[in-house]
């Protein structure tokens, strides 16, 4: 445990996750080009990303069940093969959007198998306080895939064209598959991790048991509220918003997506330390991150006229923190589930952020089209990606995330009640804990 070999296995698995994130986010830098290539409306364009996320979210539970049955290595390899196949389909898709949708569905299926498999691998190789930190590092370093899509993939796309860009992305998945096959083992002794779900019926019972645990549902809602806004921004609507809405160049927009990733990389280790230091205050971290995103989005959308570039920088920095913030959801799953059902628990959690993402992504596209239709009907020129349209469309986030916050607060109360009833641990409200700490320190002063 925690050996040099463990770090080698982890590095190989993380490389596969980096590749998966590149494939997942590749459409985000190609949104403007995709709209021109396929000649579609904003809501139809959102279908490319939405079906990918629907497949991703829809497969999380089945993949979680399979993960507890066959182990993570097989699923990481299968996911890499599907990712490569999907990107090749997109690369050579005809101008009709149908084949591109099929390709993105394959990408969603491959992506669905990767992250929770990598997370499931970690408890077999790491123990102690380092484990939640390694989980954070996994999520954060994986986001370098967004930098690969925002910079080198974008350069290939704008220089060599659509097909070479997506073929090169597929090639990276092939390399990742080879690396995982050669370097990754299920456990230090090379044996697959033991499971008790030997039949699908037993796996189904594990699914029901895990879903009944308030801690699992708390992880679901934590992932729901923290990941979705940044995912919607980086996977589809960020570049159109920055270029069409704020008037930035494609290069500047890609650079800001890289800043989003860098923000998560910086914030991740800090959040990992805070989670390890204050395990009973993880939900407060989640709510703090959500509040910060809500405030910054309010400033951007309420700004008179077009917001200046520095506001966009602040926005992507705060959105970047949501990525590592969502990893806290998996920490809840690990805390409140036995190892034998951790795969399915992680699957339940991972549905959260992507469920919120595809709902938001599609509704934003619908609102943009409706506003543009109203603009044209009034005699003005069509401008789907005008800032005034985004100002309204992005309000969808408050409705979706607001519903998630309600779910989080409800499940937090149930989880804390269970802790008090079963283990005698009482978690006071944060303001009570702060006041107690302040009074204790005052009492110690001479």
Q: Tell me the CATH number at 171.
A: 1.20.1250.20
Rounded Cα–Cα distance for residues 413 and 409 (Å): 6
- Tell me, yes or no, whether 203 lies in a domain: no
For residues 165 and 227, what is the distance between their CA atoms, to the nearest angstrom?
Answer: 27
Give the containing element (helix H, strand E) for 439. Answer: helix 430-444
By the 8 A CB rule, do 112 and 63 touch? yes
**pLDDT tens sequence for the chain (446 residues):** 667 888 999 999 999 999 999 998 888 777 767 777 777 777 777 777 788 888 988 887 788 778 877 889 999 999 999 999 999 999 998 877 888 889 999 999 999 899 889 988 888 888 877 887 787 788 778 888 888 887 888 888 888 888 899 999 999 999 999 999 999 988 777 655 555 445 667 767 777 888 888 889 999 999 999 999 998 998 888 988 999 899 998 888 888 988 988 898 888 888 888 887 887 788 899 999 999 999 999 999 999 999 999 999 999 999 999 988 998 998 888 888 876 777 778 888 988 988 899 899 889 989 999 999 999 999 988 888 899 999 999 999 999 999 999 999 999 989 888 776 766 666 656 655 556 666 666 655 55
Q: Is 257 helix (H, G, I), strand (E, B) or coil?
A: helix
Instruction: Please list the alpha-helical segments (H only) found in 278-308.
Output: 282-302
Q: Which DSSP symbol is given to 428?
A: -
Q: How far apart are CA 205 and CA 202, in angstroms?
A: 5
Domain contains 416: yes
Residue 246 confidence (pLDDT)? 93
Residue 445 confidence (pLDDT): 54
Return the residue matching tokens 């959801």: 329
CA distances from 343 to 64, 114, 123, 125, 216 (A): 5, 12, 11, 15, 12
pLDDT recorded at residue 69: 78
CA distances to 149, 240, 284, 415 from 431, rounded to whole Å, are 42, 41, 11, 19
Contact by Cβ (8 Å): 136, 271: yes
Which tokens hold the place of 76?
């990481």
Q: Specify whether the CB–CB gap between 140 and 269 falls below 8 A.
A: yes
Per the listing, tokens 């999520």 go with 139
What does the pLDDT read at residue 354?
Answer: 84
Q: Which pLDDT belongs to residue 11?
A: 94
In a domain, 190, yes or no: no
Total Cβ atoms within 10 A of residue 1: 12
Q: Which residues contact 41 (CB under 8 A, 6 or more apart)?
A: 365, 369, 384
CA atoms of 51 and 184, how far apart (whole Å): 31
Residue with tokens 């960020």: 238
* Of the candidates 235, 234, 233, 240, the residue with the CA atom closest to the CA atom of residue 387: 240
Q: Are 79 and 136 in contact (CB under 8 A)?
A: no
Torsion of CA 376, 382, 388, 393, to 10 degrees: 90
Per-residue pLDDT at 427: 62
| Residue 205 resides in a domain | no
- From the list 24, 17, 316, 27, the residue with the least C-alpha distance to 157 is 27
Give the DSSP letter string of 189-245.
TSPPPP-S--SHHHHHHHHHHHHHSHHHHHHHHHHHHHHHHHHHIIIIIHHHIIIII
| Rounded distance between C-alpha atoms, residue 233 and residue 24, angstroms | 13
**Residue 192 resides in a domain:** no
User: What pLDDT sits at residue 57?
Assistant: 80
User: Looking at the domain assignment, is residue 201 inside a domain?
Assistant: no
Q: Which domain holds residue 245?
A: 4-182+210-444
Can you say whether residue 303 is alpha, beta or left, with left for phi > 0 and alpha for psi between -120 and 50 degrees? Answer: beta
Q: How many CB atoms lie within 10 A of CB 391?
A: 16
Q: Which of 285, 283, 289, 297 is nearest to 322 (CA)?
A: 289
Distance CA 414, CA 398 (A): 24
User: Where does residue 440 rank: exposed (0-12), middle (13-18), buried (19+ CB within 10 A)?
Assistant: exposed
Residue 143 is predicted with a pLDDT of 80
b or e along 136-150 (b: 16 or more beta carbons within 10 Å of the residue's beta carbon)? bbbbbbbbbbbbbbb
In a domain, 367, yes or no: yes
CB contact set of 359 (below 8 Å; sequence gap of 6+): 400
pLDDT given for residue 438 in this prediction: 65
| Number of compact structural domains in the chain | 1
């Amino acid at each position: 445990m925690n050996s040099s070999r463990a770090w080698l296995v982890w590095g190989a698995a993380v490389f596969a996750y980096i590749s998966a994130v590149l494939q997942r986010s590749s459409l985000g830098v190609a949104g403007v080009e995709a709209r021109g290539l396929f000649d579609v409306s904003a809501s139809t364009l959102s279908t490319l990303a939405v079906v990918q996320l629907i497949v991703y979210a829809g497969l999380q539970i089945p993949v979680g069940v399979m993960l507890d049955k066959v182990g993570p290595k097989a699923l990481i390899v299968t996911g890499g093969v599907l990712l490569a196949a999907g990107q090749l389909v997109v690369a050579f898709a005809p101008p009709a959007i149908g084949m591109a949708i099929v390709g993105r569905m394959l990408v969603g299926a491959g992506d669905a198998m990767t992250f929770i498999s990598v997370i499931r691998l970690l408890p077999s190789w790491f123990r102690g306080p380092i484990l939640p930190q390694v989980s954070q590092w996994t999520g954060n370093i994986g986001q370098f895939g967004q930098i690969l899509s925002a910079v080198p993939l974008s350069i290939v796309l704008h220089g060599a064209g659509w097909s070479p860009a997506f073929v090169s992305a597929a090639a990276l998945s092939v390399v990742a598959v080879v690396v995982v096959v050669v370097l990754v083992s299920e456990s230090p002794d090379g044996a697959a991790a033991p499971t008790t779900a030997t039949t699908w019926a037993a796996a189904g019972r594990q699914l029901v048991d895990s879903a009944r645990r308030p801690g699992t549902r708390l992880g679901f809602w934590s992932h729901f509220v923290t990941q979705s806004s940044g995912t919607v921004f980086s996977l589809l609507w960020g570049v159109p918003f920055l270029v069409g809405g704020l008037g930035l160049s494609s290069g500047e927009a890609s650079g800001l997506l890289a800043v989003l990733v860098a923000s998560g990389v910086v914030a991740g280790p800090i959040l990992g330390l805070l989670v390890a230091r204050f395990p009973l205050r993880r939900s407060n971290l989640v709510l703090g991150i959500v509040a910060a995103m809500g405030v910054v989005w309010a400033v951007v959308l309420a700004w008179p006229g077009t917001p200046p570039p520095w506001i966009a920088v602040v926005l992507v920095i705060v959105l970047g923190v949501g990525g590592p913030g969502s990893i806290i959801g998996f920490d809840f799953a690990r805390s409140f589930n036995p190892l034998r059902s951790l795969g399915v628990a992680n699957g339940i959690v991972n549905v959260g952020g992507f469920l919120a993402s595809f709902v938001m992504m599609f509704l934003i596209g619908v609102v943009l089209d409706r506003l543009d239709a109203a603009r044209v009907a009034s005699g003005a020129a069509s401008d789907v990606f005008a800032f005034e349209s985004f100002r309204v469309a992005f309000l969808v986030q408050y409705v979706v995330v607001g519903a998630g916050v309600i779910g989080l607060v409800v499940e937090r109360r149930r989880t804390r009640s269970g802790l008090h009833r079963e283990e005698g641990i009482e978690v006071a409200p944060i303001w009570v804990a702060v006041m107690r700490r302040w009074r204790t320190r005052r009492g110690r002063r001479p």
